Chains A and B, each alone.
Chain A
Amino acid sequence: MKLFRLVVVLLVLAGLVAADGLAQVPSRPYRIYAITFRGMTDVERGFQDYFASRRIPVQITFRDLNRDPSRMPGFLEEIKRTRPDLVYTWGTSVTLGVVGTYDAYDPSTQITDIPVVFTLVAAPVLAKIVPDLKSSRRNVTGVFHVAPTEAQIRAMASYRPFKSIGILYTPTEQNSVVVVDEVREVSKRLGFSVIAKPLKLDSQKRVTADGAPEMIRELKQQKVDWLYLPPDSYLGTQAKNVIIPAAMNEKLPTFASTEQLMETGALTGLVSRYHSIGQFTAYKAEQILVQKVPPAKIPVETLTRFSLQVRMDVAEQLKLPPPLPMFNYAELIRPGDTPAPTEAAGGQ
């Protein structure tokens, strides 16, 4: 009798162990529906790599807008039909297309009941995707990629301390105006001065780069130590040909707030690696899919560690070598280096 009971107990235990083991492996892979804006980027590669390294089986269906918003309704309909476990959206416009703003979305066409994780959105609160970074209060969460303004300012200071910085910005881009305000706020707290000059508007109230070199000269005369380049689309188009050369002329170091601006030839900048962004997005997706955490409980975050990039040829020209500790952790770009695998232009 005793032996029989022992055997039963052992079998039950074995069964529990087996069940527990089985529970770890899902019976089928998770299905993710991913919408990109301009094809595969490093973000998607990072996204997939994360699942691979964590050995989580996923089946990702990629759909590309190819910069054509008219394709969106078709994708939305496919989502509603195939009902994937998770939807992945790349960039602000794609995300807005799929989930709408938090105060005005259309449940009949847009997605509300399937979790959505967005990536590479520059300013989720400003874009009204989420009311607050702590919680979207709906089935949405995601990752934004622009380093916090204060982190950028501190990175600038760690390169060379400063008392005053100058900014050129596009007054009609709301993004830019907000960032300039943020810089002013940081300046009050950290104790430096900001001189921000809006680019001129032409007769049709469109922004133009006329007079930008003169503005830069003025800034130099006003004794700014750095020229800060905010995440500003128009500025990005003018940086390479107008802004950077003028700054170099005035021997003014430039700090880029995004990787495209960095590409245009700024001295240094704080960038987030798309690959890491993708991995972080996958991390959020894992929390939703595997740990079954509702998206409303997952905060919208960005990376904790950004890459500090330094252009060595610019540094040499300006005679401003990076401080010695930076050689340990900064990414030092020499002319002729193959550009590190990020996207050259177009990021949102």
Chain B
Amino acid sequence: MGTIRVRFILVALAVSFFAVGMSAFLNYFKYKSTIGNIVKSRVLVVGRNIENSVQASLAIGMQFAELAQLPQVMSREKSSDRLVRGIDVFDTSGQVIYSTDRTRVGQKVPGPWIGAAERSKTTEWASDEGEDYVAGISLKNAFDLTVGYLALRYSREEVERAASVAGREILLAALGSFFGIAIVAPLALIVVIRRFERDLRTLEAAATHLEDRVEPAVPTGSAFDSSIGHLRASLRDANRSLDDLRAKLDSAA
């Protein structure tokens, strides 16, 4: 009896592990992506303020490479939200033209940034490769030509810290439920399995009495009663015929 019970309980555990695991996983990822989006849209609010300023300057005819007011606007906006680590404005070839961090001016931005910007269907884009998250806005001129890009770098920490806190709690809840199931399910299963095992037991018990010549006392009410009855009947009949032959042989001696 043990093996079947154990095996079914293993199934229960495996499936619960899968189900609880998947749902914990789903909740965690949903949380992470929601937090990520909230933080990203917060950063983009700052970005849009800068974009307006750039557009206003372009509109009155200033050259993209000569927006004198821009660094001031950028540093003011950066200080309005502590989350933003740095703001860069770079041209279509990837070279940084303005930045809140002096040392970055003239350098090339990481490749994935431009790829993300080009792949995006709107003027907003984002990338999370590299050590910082970046949210960006593509800057277009009056005839819809992209003249450059605005990139706001913000720390992964905020999102990852929040995600790990949540992740831990969700994991704990999942583990708790899983262990709860590990205790409750076998108990519940055993109730069902017991009926099954009882049927099998009657089978086995009947098997030991297969060759009895005596009729069994009471039908045990298991699902196999009729089969067992047939089995015994067939064996009995065969034995009786053989008995008959024996008798005839003996009498002929």
A binding-site residues for B, Cβ under 8 Å: 42, 45-46, 49, 53, 272-276, 279-280, 283, 301, 303-307, 328-329, 331, 340-342
In the bound complex, do residue A340 and residue B142 qualify as a contact, i.e. CB atoms below 8 Å apart?
Answer: no
Q: Which of B52, B56, B142 contacts A276 (CB 8 A)?
A: B142
CA distance A70 to B189 in the complex (A): 105
Q: Which of B60, B65, B141, B145 contacts A331 (CB 8 A)?
A: B60
Q: Residue B55 at the A interface, CB < 8 A?
A: yes
Chain A residue numbers with a CB within 8 Å of B60 are: 273, 307, 331, 340-341
Chain B residue numbers with a CB within 8 Å of A42 are: 61
Chain B residue numbers with a CB within 8 Å of A307 are: 59-60
Name A302's closest neighbour in chain B (CB-CB). Answer: B143
CA distance A340 to B59 in the complex (A): 10
CA distance A87 to B57 in the complex (A): 30
Chain A residue numbers with a CB within 8 Å of B59 are: 273, 276, 305, 307, 331
Within 8 A of A (CB), among B109-139: none
Within 8 A of A (CB), among B47-76: 52, 55-56, 58-61, 63-65
In the bound complex, do residue B142 and residue A328 qualify as a contact, i.e. CB atoms below 8 Å apart?
Answer: no
A283-B143, A305-B142 given; A329·B61 CB < 8 A: no
Q: Which of A279, A331, A342 contacts B56 (CB 8 A)?
A: A331
In the bound complex, do residue A341 and residue B61 qualify as a contact, i.e. CB atoms below 8 Å apart?
Answer: yes
Chain B residue numbers with a CB within 8 Å of A283 are: 143, 145
Name A275's closest neighbour in chain B (CB-CB). Answer: B61
Contact mask B62-104 → A, CB, 8 Å, 1/0? 0111000000000000000000000000000000000000000
Of B58, B59, B65, B140, the most chain A CB neighbours within 10 A belong to B59
In the bound complex, do residue B65 and residue A276 qualify as a contact, i.e. CB atoms below 8 Å apart?
Answer: no
Name B55's closest neighbour in chain A (CB-CB). Answer: A329
CA distance A325 to B176 in the complex (A): 51
Chain B residue numbers with a CB within 8 Å of A46 are: 61
In the bound complex, do residue A49 and residue B63 qualify as a contact, i.e. CB atoms below 8 Å apart?
Answer: yes
Chain B residue numbers with a CB within 8 Å of A45 are: 61
A45 to chain B, nearest CB (A): 8
What total of A-B pairs shows CB separation below 8 Å?
Answer: 54
In the bound complex, do residue A280 and residue B142 qualify as a contact, i.e. CB atoms below 8 Å apart?
Answer: yes
Q: Which of A53, A301, A328, A340 contacts B143 (CB 8 A)?
A: A301
CA distance A75 to B56 in the complex (A): 38
23 CB contacts below 8 A, A to B, read: A45-B61, A53-B63, A53-B65, A273-B60, A276-B58, A276-B61, A279-B142, A279-B143, A280-B142, A280-B143, A303-B143, A304-B142, A304-B144, A305-B140, A305-B141, A307-B59, A307-B60, A329-B52, A331-B56, A331-B59, A340-B61, A341-B60, A341-B61
Ranked 5 nearest A-B pairs via Cβ = A275-B61, A276-B142, A303-B142, A305-B142, A280-B143
A81 to chain B, nearest CB (A): 34
CA distance A115 to B45 in the complex (A): 45
CA distance A303 to B142 in the complex (A): 6
CA distance A31 to B42 in the complex (A): 49
Chain A residue numbers with a CB within 8 Å of B63 are: 49, 53
Of B60, B65, B142, the most chain A CB neighbours within 10 A belong to B142
In the bound complex, do residue A53 and residue B52 qualify as a contact, i.e. CB atoms below 8 Å apart?
Answer: no
Q: Which of B52, B140, B142 contacts A273 (CB 8 A)?
A: B142
In the bound complex, do residue B61 and residue A272 qualify as a contact, i.e. CB atoms below 8 Å apart?
Answer: no
In the bound complex, do residue A53 and residue B64 qualify as a contact, i.e. CB atoms below 8 Å apart?
Answer: yes
Name B63's closest neighbour in chain A (CB-CB). Answer: A49
Chain B residue numbers with a CB within 8 Å of A273 are: 59-61, 142
Contact mask B30-56 → A, CB, 8 Å, 1/0? 000000000000000000000010011
CA distance A132 to B49 in the complex (A): 40
CA distance A274 to B61 in the complex (A): 8
A63 to chain B, nearest CB (A): 24
Q: A273-B61, A304-B143, A305-B144 are in contact. List 15 more A-B contacts (CB 8 A).
A: A53-B65, A273-B59, A276-B58, A276-B61, A276-B142, A279-B141, A279-B142, A283-B143, A304-B144, A305-B142, A307-B59, A328-B52, A329-B52, A331-B56, A342-B61
CA distance A279 to B147 in the complex (A): 12
Chain A residue numbers with a CB within 8 Å of B64 are: 53
Name A341's closest neighbour in chain B (CB-CB). Answer: B61
Name B147's closest neighbour in chain A (CB-CB). Answer: A53
CA distance A45 to B60 in the complex (A): 13
Name A52's closest neighbour in chain B (CB-CB). Answer: B63
B53 to chain A, nearest CB (A): 10
Q: Which of A49, A53, A306 contacts B142 (CB 8 A)?
A: A306
CA distance A272 to B60 in the complex (A): 10
Name A54's closest neighbour in chain B (CB-CB). Answer: B92
B90 to chain A, nearest CB (A): 14
B63 to chain A, nearest CB (A): 6
CA distance A331 to B56 in the complex (A): 7
B138 to chain A, nearest CB (A): 14
